[in-house]
Amino acid sequence: MAKVRDSILPAICTSTAGQPSVSLNGLNNLGDKVAHVITLDVADTISQVMLYHYRNGSPGTIRIGIQGVVQSSNNFGWVNDGTWLSYIDVVGTTISTTPALYVYTLTTPISLSAGNYTVVCQNQSGTFDTSNRLVHSNGFNVVSSGGACGQTASSNNTTSTTGSTSQSYAAMRGALRTYGFPYTGYAQTTVSSPNEIGNRIRLTAGSAGTYDVSGVVTRNLATSTGTTINLYDDTLTAIGSISLPNNGSATQRWSQFYFSAPVRIYPDRYYYLVTSGTHQADYYTLSQASDNSAFTAHEMQYCSRSTTSGEFTITDTRVAEMGLIIEDQAGGGLLTHPGMTGGIRG
């Protein structure tokens, strides 16, 4: 067995209770920009980029697209290099006055090798001031844990660059998968026993012949006694369970829980990692179903059922804040996950 001690997580892991805080910065002047570092772990052809923002007034034309990176003392070592690889010019008044995740199709798809790039939004021409501007997401209040949760860096305006330990709403869509954080929103809800809510997870073949799961990472909160974390195999047989304390009065934070003994799972089979009982369940909503490929190199989709028996309902435009702690793997190649190919996983 090869010790790997890796976490298979959703791309965003919030650090405290409640909805993640989104920092919104205004781009007030001609030439102002915001850039988010995104890492491609494979070569891919990118056709779309996604950004979370809205407008005030009637701003001019905005250029949105992809640039390369250069090393810097800020932004975890990277900033945009100023050279457009592909872009689209957007009339500012076509952007809504309501904050949302917008999908922009590049004028020309761009083939990129694995590595670091930046999604850039820059005031290009026309009127920009404090009353006519784009207001842009700069980041979430999240846990910063390297590749497992991913990181994006942001730069603002034309003269300085600011590092950020928070994730940002930014993503790229390629022919193979989505990279970054393609979220349209976040929800936290309290469910009653015996509801089960969590993620259906499928680890890919080629990473390993088997995986030993030692525990779970989650931000679900037990609000009564009798709440458990359950792991089911593809026959819906429980293969692991963890009893949670009634911590409903506690601040909801990202936590680790462990099985009494590691649970062995296999590639290319579906497993259901859920919280059962009365608890708070947290999940993100995706721009589209295929964007779940941005989370890990594996497959992860929201699942739920109102009892502890019967089939799960799969909602592939959501992902819950639950993941696996992989302790060991055997066979196959190296387990891959966001961040392992170098640079910053966005």
- Please state, for a pLDDT cut of 90, what percent of the chain lies above it: 42
Q: What is the pLDDT of residue 312?
A: 97
Q: What is the pLDDT of residue 207?
A: 58
Query: In this predicted model, what pLDDT tens digit does every residue of 196-232 receive, in sequence order?
Result: 999 999 988 765 688 999 999 888 888 888 899 999 9
Nearest Cα to Cα of residue 340 among 51, 75, 8, 44 = 8
Check if the beta carbon of residue 47 is closer than 8 Å to that of residue 109: yes
Look at 202 and 162; give whichever has higher pLDDT: 202
2-13+186-330 CATH choice from 3.40.50, 2.60.120, 2.40.50, 2.50.20: 2.60.120
**Does residue 143 surpass a pLDDT of 80?**
no
Q: What is the pLDDT of residue 333?
A: 46
Distances (CA, A) of 299 to 26, 177, 293, 319: 36, 11, 6, 10
Backbone angles phi, psi at 92, to 5 degrees: -55, -35
Domain ranges of the chain: 2-13+186-330, 23-181
Q: What is the pLDDT of residue 259?
A: 95
23-181 CATH choice from 2.60.120, 2.60.40, 3.10.350, 3.30.43: 2.60.120
pTM of structure:
0.81
Q: What is the pLDDT of residue 38?
A: 85
Query: Average pLDDT in the 143-171 region?
Result: 44
Structure token digits, residue 114? 């694995």
Cα 44 versus chain centre, distance: 19
Q: What is the pLDDT of residue 129?
A: 94
220 contacts: CB under 8 Å, gap ≥ 6: 197, 198, 229, 275, 279, 280, 281, 282, 320, 321, 322
Look at 16 and 329; give whichever has higher pLDDT: 329
Backbone angles phi, psi at 291, to 5 degrees: -70, -10
Distances (CA, A) of 131 to 63, 93, 174, 268: 19, 13, 35, 53
156 contacts: CB under 8 Å, gap ≥ 6: 25, 27, 32, 33, 34, 138, 162
Between CA 257 and CA 215 the distance in angstroms is 5
Q: What is the pLDDT of residue 345?
A: 34
Between CA 224 and CA 217 the distance in angstroms is 20
Mean pLDDT of the chain: 81
Query: Average pLDDT in the 173-192 region?
Result: 87
Q: Are 2-13+186-330 and 23-181 in the same CATH fold?
A: yes
Residue carrying structure tokens 């966005």: 346
Structure token digits, residue 233? 């195999």
Query: Average pLDDT in the 90-111 region?
Result: 95
Nearest Cα to Cα of residue 187 among 53, 305, 302, 274 = 302
Nearest Cα to Cα of residue 277 among 233, 252, 300, 246 = 246
Query: Residue 340's pLDDT band (boundaries 50, 70, 90)?
Result: very low
Which of 20-24, 146-150, 339-343 reaches the highest mean pLDDT? 20-24
Listed range (98-102, 126-130, 167-171) with the worst mean pLDDT:
167-171
**Does residue 343 surpass a pLDDT of 50?**
no
Check if the beta carbon of residue 185 is closer than 8 Å to that of residue 178: no
Distances (CA, A) of 244 to 17, 224, 232, 279, 320: 18, 9, 17, 10, 18
**Does residue 82 surpass a pLDDT of 50?**
yes
Residue carrying structure tokens 């497992």: 148
Q: What is the pLDDT of residue 264?
A: 95
Between CA 149 and CA 7 the distance in angstroms is 9
Query: Residue 11's pLDDT band (boundaries 50, 70, 90)?
Result: low
